[in-house]
């Protein structure tokens, strides 16, 4: 397993090195010491609020399959995001579907489908934010090209989903693939595919998907406000539009599978974004360190608070043990 994770960890180290390059460390420390505590608390509070809204949105995505209490959603979401942050290569994305399967008897593949819906909504929101930010700030051409490619891939994927749902059955190529699988595996794969489609069933509901799209933009706006509060905390004079642009760059950066806690790539893309807006590298690194620390502190605090309630599901005891 470590052989698979090693490239991401090495990439995180590289990003970390690039973040620290050509930086005045005395200025970095000065920036950290000069941060305004009340505004740091405000930024953390906004991230708490964002986590609550994420769990609420996930419940809406799951609603065509099952109504899950909000307390359960928030608890599992907190543990799930802890797993994403703590386990490299975003393997932790499977934690929430797994817990929902063990504790709420929701099929695992359907749960994975709900996470796919969530990620589609997130990517569309970030791409919209980035497309607007292009008009305000000098976004690097490579990022624009990458975002355009991602948009095309996502548009094709959504087109396939719409086709599947309107058709009401699997397209011929799915049956062709299933027919070529071993007989013992064929029925299981067919069941997985059907459960996955159930997890994506929210796309059938136009009113709900429209509400989810608006809610997703609101969720990421809360995140942008948390970044904006940090501007004031470190006495950085940038407008709210810069916080949205910076948000898009950080999110794109942390989609790259690297070290646990997104160490390295989070800092690099945060520093890159701020320097594009004219912020000195040392000041930008102070900001990146605080932003990463507060974000991870919220995720780890919530995750560790709720983790004991899910230990039996995560680590089931063998029969006959006490």
For 43-92, write each residue's pLDDT tens digit.
999 999 999 999 999 999 998 888 999 999 999 999 999 998 888 766 78
pLDDT surpassing 60 at residue 8: yes
Query: Which range, of 24-33, 132-141, 252-261, averages the lowest pLDDT?
Result: 132-141
* Contact between residue 48 and residue 78 where contact means Cβ atoms under 8 Å apart: no
DSSP 8-state class, residue 306: H
* pLDDT for residue 119: 86
Q: To which residue do tokens 């996470």 refer?
A: 115
312 token code pair: 């039996």
CA distance 322 to 205: 47
CA distance 307 to 311: 6
Chain centroid to CA 278: 27
73 token code pair: 């959603």
CA distance 220 to 250: 12
Mean pLDDT over 174-193 rounds to: 63
Please state the pTM of the whole predicted model: 0.84
pLDDT surpassing 70 at residue 191: no
């Amino acid at each position: 397993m470590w052989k698979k994770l090693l490239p991401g960890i090495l990439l995180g180290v590289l990003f970390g090195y690039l973040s620290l390059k050509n930086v005045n460390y005395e200025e970095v420390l000065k920036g950290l010491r000069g941060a305004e505590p009340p505004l740091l608390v405000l930024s953390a509070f906004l991230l708490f609020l964002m986590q609550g809204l994420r769990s609420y949105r996930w419940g809406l995505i799951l609603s065509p399959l099952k109504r899950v209490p909000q307390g359960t959603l928030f608890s599992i979401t907190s543990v799930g995001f802890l797993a994403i942050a703590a386990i490299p290569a975003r393997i932790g994305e499977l934690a929430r579907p797994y817990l929902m399967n063990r504790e709420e008897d929701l099929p695992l593949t359907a749960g994975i489908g709900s996470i796919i819906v969530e990620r589609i909504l997130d990517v569309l929101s970030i791409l919209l934010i980035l497309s607007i930010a292009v008009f305000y700030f000098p976004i690097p051409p490579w990022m624009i090209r990458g975002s355009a490619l991602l948009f095309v891939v996502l548009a094709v994927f959504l087109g396939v989903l719409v086709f599947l749902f309107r058709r009401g059955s699997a397209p011929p190529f799915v049956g062709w693939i299933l027919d070529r699988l071993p007989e013992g595996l064929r029925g299981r794969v067919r069941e997985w595919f059907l459960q996955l489609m159930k997890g994506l069933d929210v796309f059938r509901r136009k009113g709900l998907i429209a509400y989810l799209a608006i809610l997703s933009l609101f969720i990421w706006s809360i995140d942008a406000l948390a970044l904006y509060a940090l501007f004031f905390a470190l006495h950085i004079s940038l407008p709210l539009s810069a916080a949205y642009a910076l948000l898009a760059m950080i999110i794109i950066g942390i989609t790259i599978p690297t070290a646990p806690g997104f160490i390295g790539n989070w800092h690099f893309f945060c520093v890159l974004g701020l320097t594009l807006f004219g912020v000195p590298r040392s000041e930008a690194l102070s900001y990146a360190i605080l932003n990463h620390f507060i974000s991870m502190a919220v995720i780890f605090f919530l995750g560790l608070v709720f983790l004991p309630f899910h230990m039996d599901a995560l680590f089931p005891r063998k029969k006959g043990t006490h």
